[in-house]
Amino acid sequence: MAARRTREFVYWSTQLLGWGLYTATIVIWNHLQGGFDPGSLGAVFSVFAIGVGISHTFRSIIRRQGWLRLGIGPMVLRLLPGSFVLGLLAFALQASINDVFLTHMEPILPAPPMELLSLVLNWTVLLLLWSFGYFT
């Protein structure tokens, strides 16, 4: 029982620390590029919350489906589409939150298709990297 609690503590600590560092990097990068608008903290928090929620959902899928017991080939064949589908979901959540609730910010959905694709791919790569880290 204590070992399970320790594993859960380590899992949640790394989840919160990892997504916290990622969103802190966004804030620092924006500050270095000409200033950080405190009004965009809602968007940064939504990225943090979506990241934690979606990656935790991915973990649940991985565990429930027994992907941890698979060889590298079958595992990658599941992680790639899983990351893409959840990347699409994360993008949809981010765009919805931004465009509906954070109306003081520039809307996401009217952006050019290539910009939208880059947001989906960003989430996909983040989730893929996260999932590879989960298997190590």
pLDDT, tens digit only, all 136 positions of the chain: 788 899 999 999 999 999 999 999 999 998 898 877 878 899 999 999 999 999 999 999 999 999 989 999 999 999 999 999 999 999 999 999 999 999 999 999 999 999 999 999 999 999 999 998 877 5
Cα–Cα dist 120/4, whole Å: 34
Cα–Cα dist 133/27, whole Å: 24
Residue 58's nearest CA partner among 135, 112, 116 is 135
CB 36 within 8 A of CB 105: no
Q: What pLDDT does 82 receive?
A: 97
CB neighbours of residue 108 within 10 Å: 18
Q: What pLDDT does 28 receive?
A: 93
Q: What pLDDT does 136 receive?
A: 58
Residue 86's nearest CA partner among 42, 118, 56 is 56
**Token digits of residue 12:** 């949640």
**Amino acid code (one letter) for 37:** D
